[in-house]
Amino acid sequence: MPEDPQAVSRHPQVILLITILTIIIVFCTMFIWRFIVLASALFISAKILYGDPMKNKWTYLVFFIGFVGFQPCFADQDPQSQQDPHTRRAWRQGRDSLLNVMELESERDNLPKRRWIRRDQRRLDDEINALLDDIIQILSVSDLTEIRKDYRKIEKQISGTRDRIRELREARINAPLEKTRLEFFRKTRDELTADIEALEENLRELENDKEALVRKLTEEYRRMGLQISESQVRFYLSTVSGGDVMELSALFHNVRNLNQQLEILLKENPGDPMAARRYYGIHVAMIRTLKRAHEVVIENIDDRYLVRIDALETRNNRLRAETETMLKLTPAPDHTLLEASYRTQQVTDEALQVYRQHLHAVRDQIYEVSKTLDQRLRISQNAYDTIRVSTTLITEMQAAVNDINALRDMHLPDLMPIDDEAVRQKFEEITESLLAE
C-alpha cells in the first residue's frame, strides 16, 4: 500500500520535534523514566508516521536508531563513572592489594625486629615492599605514561627507518642501472632511490608524529594541573630519569583521584566504623605507595644510572688518555682524525658531567618529597591506629590530599638548558645507552 504523501512530507518535522522533546525529558528524569519516555516517544513517532506501528517494518528501524542514538543517556552518572578510565582500572585492580598492605602492617607489633629463622619485621617489610611495587605498576598507568610509550615506539621506528635508509644507500652503490629477466630479484639504482625517497618521506611523517606527541604530553600534564612547557617535556623525554618522573606524575594523579572517591565513601558511611577503617586504610596504603615509589626512583638513580655514568666516564677517560698519547707519538700530518676523536671525547666528558648534575638534582628533589611523604605517612598511620570517627578521618584525609597536591610540583625536575648542539646530541646518546642496560 503506498505511503501517504503528506505523512512522508512531515517525517523530518515530526522526527525533529519528537527528538528534541525526548532529549529534554531524558535529561530531566531518572533512569527508569528515561527508558519509558524514550520507548513511548519512539512508539508514538512510529505510529504517527506509519499508522499501525507493529505491522510496519520501518517501526523496528526507528526503534533501533532511537535506542542506539540515545544509549549514552542511559549511562550511570555517579562520580565513579566520571573518573579517568585509568583511575577506575587502578581502583579495580589495586584495591585488594592496598587492603593487603594494611593487613600486613597490622602484624608488625606481633613480630620481633630481627631473628634468624622465622618471620620478623625485616621479612615483613620485604613482603610489603613487593606488594607496593605491584601496586606502583598499577597506579602509575595513565594517559601520560601511555603517550610516552607511543613516543618510545616512534623513536624505535625512526631508528629502524634510518638504519634501513643507510642499508639501501650502501646497496645502491653496486646496484645495476638495468637488470635482465634473470635478475628480477635485484633492484636497480632508480628503484633503490625510489625506496629511499619513500622511506625519507616516512621519516618526516614519523618526526611530525613525535612532535605531535610532545604537544599531547604537554596538554596531558596541564590537564592534570601541572603547568610545564613543551621544552620541559622534551627534556624529560631525553633523559633516563624522565620515565621515572612521568610515572610519579601519573601515580600522583591516580592517588589524588582515588582519594576523592574514598572521601565520598567515608561520607556515605558516617556511622560505620568498619567502613571508616577500611577506606581510610586504603588512603594510608596509597600514601605508603607514593613513598615507596619515590624510594625506588632514588634507588634507580643511585644504584643504576649514576653507576652507569661512572662506567661511561671511566671508559671515555681511558679513550681520551689513549688519544692524547697517540697525538704525541703520531706525525702532525696524521693528526686530523685523532683530533676529531679527541674533540668528540671532550664533548662526551662534558655531556656526562651535565648528565650527572641533572641526576643529582632529580635525586635531591625526589628525596625532599620522600621526606615529606614519610612525615605524612606517620600522621596518617597514627590516625588509622587510633581514630574510628568518620568525620575526623575525612578531615585528616583532606589535609593529606592538600599535601599531596602541593607535592606534585616538587617532583618535577627543572629544565637544564643545553646550548651546545653537540653536547645535546651526546646527552641523548647517553640516554640511549642507559636505557639499553
The SS3 call for residue 156 is: helix
**Higher-confidence position of 30 and 154:** 154
User: From CA 144, how far away is CA 61, in angstroms rounded?
Assistant: 42
Q: Which residue from 370, 63, 401 is spatially nearest to 260, judged by alpha carbons? A: 401
Mean pLDDT of 308-325: 94
DSSP H helical ranges for 224-334: 230-237, 242-268, 273-300, 306-329
The SS3 call for residue 419 is: coil
Residue 189 in contact with residue 176, Cβ under 8 Å?
yes
Mean pLDDT of 238-257: 88
Residues of the chain with pLDDT > 70, as a percent, come to 76
Q: What is the pLDDT of residue 226?
A: 78
Mean pLDDT of 80-84: 52
Q: What is the pLDDT of residue 29?
A: 46
pLDDT at 230 over 60: yes
User: From CA 81, how far away is CA 76, in angstroms rounded?
Assistant: 6
User: From CA 261, how far away is CA 79, in angstroms rounded?
Assistant: 8
Residues 6 or more apart whose CB falls under 8 angstroms from that of 119 comprise 111
Q: What is the grid cell recorded at 111? A: 613480630
Q: What is the pLDDT of residue 51?
A: 56
Q: What is the grid cell recorded at 116? A: 634468624
**Higher-confidence position of 201 and 275:** 201
pLDDT at 219 over 80: yes
pLDDT at 280 over 80: yes
pLDDT classification of 74: cutoffs 50, 70, 90: very low
Q: What is the 3-state secondary structure (H, E, C) of 45-69?
A: HHHHHHCCHHHCHHHHHHHHHHHHH
pLDDT at 42 over 60: no
Between the two ends of the chain, the Cα-to-Cα distance in Å is 77
Among 78-87, 147-156, 256-265, the minimum mean pLDDT is found in: 78-87
What are the backbone dihedrals phi and psi of residue 75, each rounded to the nearest 5 degrees, phi first? -70, 145
Q: What is the pLDDT of residue 72?
A: 44
Burial of 424 (0-12, 13-18, 19+ CB in 10 A): middle
Q: What is the pLDDT of residue 307?
A: 94
Residue 341 in contact with residue 356, Cβ under 8 Å?
no
Q: What is the pLDDT of residue 127?
A: 92
pLDDT classification of 196: cutoffs 50, 70, 90: very high
Inter-helix orientation angle 189-223/230-237, to 10°: 120
Handedness of CA 142, 144, 150, 152 (dihedral sign): negative
Output the furthest CA–CA distance in the chain (Å, rounded). Answer: 106
Q: What is the pLDDT of residue 225?
A: 79
Q: What is the pLDDT of residue 390?
A: 67
What are the backbone dihedrals phi and psi of residue 4, each rounded to the nearest 5 degrees, phi first? -65, 125
Q: What is the pLDDT of residue 17?
A: 57
DSSP H helical ranges for 57-120: 57-69, 85-105
User: From CA 220, how far away is CA 147, in angstroms rounded?
Assistant: 9
Mean pLDDT of 317-343: 89
Q: What is the pLDDT of residue 80?
A: 43
Average pLDDT over all residues of the chain? 80
pLDDT at 428 over 50: yes
Q: Which residue from 40, 59, 45 is spatially nearest to 10, judged by alpha carbons? A: 45
User: From CA 263, how far away is CA 255, in angstroms rounded?
Assistant: 12
Highest-scoring range by mean pLDDT, 44-53, 216-225, 396-405: 216-225
Mean pLDDT of 154-172: 93
Among 15-24, 76-85, 115-124, 372-381, the minimum mean pLDDT is found in: 76-85
Q: What is the pLDDT of residue 422?
A: 80
Residue type, 107: E
Highest-scoring range by mean pLDDT, 46-55, 81-90, 247-256, 285-294: 285-294
Q: What is the pLDDT of residue 271?
A: 75
pLDDT at 316 over 90: yes
Q: What is the pLDDT of residue 409?
A: 64
Residue 226 in contact with residue 249, Cβ under 8 Å?
yes
Q: What is the pLDDT of residue 198?
A: 95
Q: What is the pLDDT of residue 25?
A: 53
**Higher-confidence position of 387 and 355:** 355
Mean pLDDT of 242-251: 88
Mean pLDDT of 241-257: 88
Residue 401 in contact with residue 256, Cβ under 8 Å?
yes
Mean pLDDT of 41-58: 54
Residue 165 in contact with residue 176, Cβ under 8 Å?
no
Q: What is the pLDDT of residue 425?
A: 84
